[in-house]
Amino acid sequence: MKNLIAGAAMALMGLAGAAAADGHANYPERPIMLMVSYGAGGATDFQARIVTMTAGNEDALGMPIAIINKPGAGGRVGWNWFASQAEADGYTMGAYNIPHFIAQSIEGGVSYGADSFEPIANWGADPAVFVVAADSPFNSMGDVVEYAKENPGKLTFSGAGLFVGHHIAALQLEKAAGVKLAYIPSNKGGAGAMKSVIAGEVLGGVNNLSDAFRAREAGNVKILGVFDLERNDFLPDVPTLMEQGFDIDNASVNFRGVMVPKGTPQGIIDKLAATVPAMFENSRVQGKMKAGGSPMHIMTRDEVLEMWAAREETLKELLAGL
Amino acid sequence: MEFLFYFGDVFTPFNFGLLLIGTIGGLILGATPGLSPTMAVALLIPFTFKLEPAQGLILLGAAYTSTVAGGAVSAILLKIPGAPANIATTLDGHTMAQKGQGARALQLSFLASAVGGVFGVLLLIFLTPVLAKWALAFGPSHLFWLAILGVTVIGSLDGSSVVKGLLSGCIGLWLATVGFDDIMGAQRFIFHDAVAGGINVIPALIGLFAIPQVITMFAKGRARLDAEVLSVEKHPIGKALKEVASRGRALTIGTITGSIIGLIPGVGGQIAGLVAYDQSKKLSPESRKFGTGHPEGVIAAESANNAMVGPSLVPLLTLSIPGSPTAAVLLGGLLIHGIFPGSDLFDNYPDVAWTFINSMLVGQILMCIFGLYVAGLAARVAQVPNNVMAAVVLGLAVFGSYSVQNSMGDVYVMAALGTGMYFLERFGFSAAPLVLGLILGPIAEANFIQGSMIANATSSVGQYFFTGALNLTLIAIVVLSVAYSVWMELRARRYTTKDEAVAKEEALS
């Protein structure tokens, strides 16, 4: 315990020294705002509230973080505001969703791109999964693709919308299996897409792992595959698409984390990049996230920068044909 | 009968204290324009982190119930519907308040809310498994027809002229297309950053209802300062009880319509009040009195919007699908304690689930008692001089619009729509059909697109939208509703001239 405290104190002193050089020694001096570009009650909002709940602790930022929701147009409203109007003073942070905002910037019509923002740290990774209703005849991705081959263009499956992770997963599946499918975007997000699977309006669906896990616990759906590089701790029995013979990587995984607008002083970015990942590792945060069925995946600023660049490249290639 | 077993948990001192706090706090939050039930529940979530799961849910359940009823206060006294659920309440409720019958209107609305609310929660307790199937029965084609049914209400909602009602409904439908479209992401009519996310219903509501009234009050100004002392009638609660009991038809129609429509995920809460109002107007022998301060209008609207509370939670509690934004926030409140709602919720966590439902039942009664208590005091608002009142309403309108998503853009939208509505009202148009168009437009459009995408992949559009018992039933109701309006129109030749609009305006102000 003593060692821990000493270590923390040393780290703090080191930080204070580095920050002082830039004149941001006392940052933060007042509460910080975190903009979430989805509505209250959504998965991003819910997780953002949990991972920031310990921000006021002395070993974290020492100041609380308040969540502000700016929902609309699949996140475009919030991110447009963040890129063009948010103050770059370190007191305005934003939550990002990958691949959503990068896919939207490739599609066009918005005033942001990957270079409008400075990532701080990543807190979660929610892979897309393929779900079918509990009474569906499909029991593996092989069954699904076989049906699609026999009935080209007739396999209807739902997802949260266009240019979001679910849509990317759908495009990857079409490409890897070489079949034509009917992707039906929902206007009510993942919850609406899940409802149409359970109600039998569509034959299957791509959905968030966390929501699908809950629906499976409730006995409403079967999960046939994970769109990720490896199996997930929440679903050790569900194979990845790769294992089932489809060449699909993790481009559709929904990464969530915090960022600041371009132009925020480097001293503040450095300080946040050093403290925020540790804040996410807090045991209370980890406990609450696990209880809520939300997979965590903590990444530092450098790792996120690399991931953003890689994603942009993959998505440009995937969306070029649309 | 299992729920009776857990009734005791509601009445432990700490739990009951939470229930009181939730109810009173909810009434106050609900009465504040712009703070919708969803916002109120979201604001309370952080307080539940430290509570036991059952206790947290008591607080949230009580707040949800009483914010819905509290919205009637600003709808009746200030003509600002706090949420879409309260639009129909303004139609007769505010007229009653202007006649000095604010206390009576408030008492009726709280009593009707309690009757509707208790019925809705009882449905949740006894019929959940049946209701869950019903909630899933509505696919894209059915929701599309349901939205069209709502559109047919537009024509008859405005008491004075069908044509003007339809015209303002069309303006609403057009406004609904502004912004990024919900499914394809296309940009439509985005001429300013403030409308990039579309026109948010709540700022639009506040602007359309409150601003024309503020301008009217300012325009009258000092000229008639002397004439403005309104006497507020006292109204004994016993009389209100008798009145609610004697208006059984409006109460029954409101309660049943509200429970049925409230169940449908994604649509229910917003239109339950308006559809119930319209139905009880059409089935009432005194249908001409609706819109002129008729108590049945208030009773139908308020019993419907509280009856919806219980059934609206069915998809969440049984299928783990939040059917409304408020249910989505409540889902967060459950997940934070590691509770996954689903068909086995009542087996795994009976104490949490039943205590939550019981607290909503007791909450309805408490809400009614406190509501009746404040009704007499609150009604005195009508005595405030016009110029002071206008300033207060304007302040609340700006505050309410801003607080929805912390955006000045919403305030501009509110002000612009409100000013436009002031001029439209001069020509005999009214705000309710316009708002209904704004709400129904996206529902009809998104479900039509989704439905036709599914139809094109599987069968044909015609087959998808025109076969199946539920589709045909809904189409039949649509046809009946249109036929009824046409018949009424032919019989009465309703139309409004400019002189009549001015006369109506004079009578009201």
Asked whether residue A171 is domain-assigned, the answer is yes
Nearest to B328 by CA among B32, B148, B64, B127: B64
Same domain, A53 and A43: yes
DSSP conformational letter for A223: E
For residue A244, being part of any structural domain is answered with no
d(CA A36, CA B309): 27
Note whether A190 and A178 are same-domain residues: yes
The shortest CB-CB distance from A42 to any of B182, B328, B457 is to B328
Three-state SS string over A289-300 comes to HHHCCCCEEEEC
Q: What is the complex's ipTM, to 2 decimals?
A: 0.81
- Which H or E run includes B262? helix B248-262
In a domain? residue A242: no
Instruction: Decide if B125 contacts B3 (C-beta within 8 A).
Output: yes
- Using alpha carbons, select from B245, B187, B186, B209 the residue that is nearest to residue B83: B209
Q: Coil, strand or helix: which one is A78?
A: helix
Which residue of chain B is at minimal alpha-carbon distance from A199? B136
Q: Which of B178, B192, B314, B340 to mutate to test the interface with A (most CBs of A within 10 A)?
A: B340
Residue from B314, B321, B454 whose CB has the most chain A CBs within 10 Å, to mutate: B321
| CA B509 to each of CA B96, B220, B228: distance values in angstroms, whole numbers, following the listed order | 12, 9, 10
Q: Could you tell me if A192 and A274 lie in one domain? A: no
Same domain, A101 and A119: yes
* Residue of chain B whose Cα is closest to the Cα of A44: B332
Same domain, A174 and A288: no
DSSP A159-199: ES-TTSHHHHHHHHHHHHHT---EEEE-SSHHHHHHHHHHT
Residues A67 and A105 in one domain: yes
A215·B342 Cβ contact <8 A:
yes
Distance from CA of B197 to the nearest CA of A (A): 5
Please count the other Cβ atoms lying within 10 Å of the Cβ belonging to residue A81: 25
For A6-72, the three-class secondary structure string (H helix, E strand, C coil) is HHHHHHHHHHHHHHHHHCCCCCCCCCEEEEECCCCCCHHHHHHHHHCCCCCCCCCCCCCEEEEECCC
Residue type, B91: L
CA B479/CA B473 separation, integer angstroms: 10
Which chain A residue is nearest to residue B134, measuring alpha carbons?
A: A199
State the CATH number of the domain containing residue A312: 3.40.190.150
Q: How far apart are CA A65 and CA A280, in angstroms?
A: 13
Place of tokens 């580095």: A18
Contact (CB, 8 A) for A221 and A158:
no
Count interface pairs A-B at CB distance under 8 A: 155
**Which H or E run includes B358?**
helix B350-378
Q: What is the CATH number of the domain that holds A157?
A: 3.40.190.10
- Per-residue pLDDT of A47-106, as tens digits, reads 998 899 888 888 888 888 988 888 877 888 889 989 988 889 999 999 999 999 999 999
CA angle B266, B267, B269 (to 5 degrees): 100
Contacts of B357 by beta carbon, 8 Å cutoff, 6+ apart: B3, B61, B121, B124, B125
Same domain, A314 and A172: no
CA-nearest of B451, B447, B422, B446 to B434 is B422
Rounded CA-CA distance B174/B182 in Å is: 15
- Pair A24, A105 in one domain: yes
Tokens 């700006």 -> residue: B398
| Chain B residues with CB-CB distance to A207 below 8 A | none
Q: Give the Cα separation of B359 and B144 in Å (integer).
A: 35
- Would you tell me how many other CB atoms lie within 10 Å of the CB of residue B415? 18
**Could you read off the pLDDT of A39-48 as tens digits, one per residue?**
777 788 889 9
Query: B-chain residues within 8 Å CB-CB of A45?
Result: 332
Instruction: Domain count for chain A, please give it.
Output: 2
A290 and A211 in a common domain: no
User: Rounded to whole angstroms, how far apart are CA atoms B410 and B260?
Assistant: 32
Alpha-carbon gap, residue A157 to A166, rounded angstroms: 11
Range of the domain at A133: 128-226
Two tokens, residue A253 = 């995984």
How far is Cα B40 from Cα B43, in angstroms, rounded to an integer? Answer: 5
User: Pairing relation of β-strands A204-208 and A156-159?
Assistant: parallel
Token pair of A89 as six digits: 């003073």
Do A109 and A132 belong together in one domain?
no
Rounded to whole angstroms, the Cα distance separating A175 from A195 reads 26
* Contact criterion met (CB < 8 Å) for B340 and A162: no
Question: How far, in Å, CA of A219 to CA of B118, rounded?
Answer: 30
Together in a domain, A92 and A171: no
Helices of type H across B78-99:
87-98
List chain B pLDDT tens, one digit each, 509 residues: 677 888 888 888 999 999 999 999 888 888 887 777 887 887 787 777 778 888 888 998 889 888 888 888 888 988 888 778 888 898 899 888 888 888 899 999 999 999 999 999 999 888 887 888 887 888 899 989 988 888 888 777 766 677 888 888 899 999 999 988 878 778 888 888 788 778 888 889 889 998 998 898 888 766 555 445 556 777 888 888 888 888 989 999 999 988 888 888 766 667 888 888 888 888 888 877 888 889 999 999 999 989 988 888 888 888 777 777 788 888 878 887 778 787 778 888 888 888 888 888 999 999 999 988 888 788 777 777 778 888 888 998 898 888 877 788 899 999 999 999 999 988 888 888 898 899 888 889 989 999 999 999 988 888 899 998 999 999 998 898 888 877 877 776 655 556 666 666 565 55
* Domain locations in chain B as residue ranges: 2-508
Contact (Cβ atoms closer than 8 angstroms) between residue A187 and residue B446: yes
Q: CA B430, CA B77: separation in Å to the nearest integer? A: 18
Q: Are B415 and B211 in contact (CB under 8 A)?
A: yes
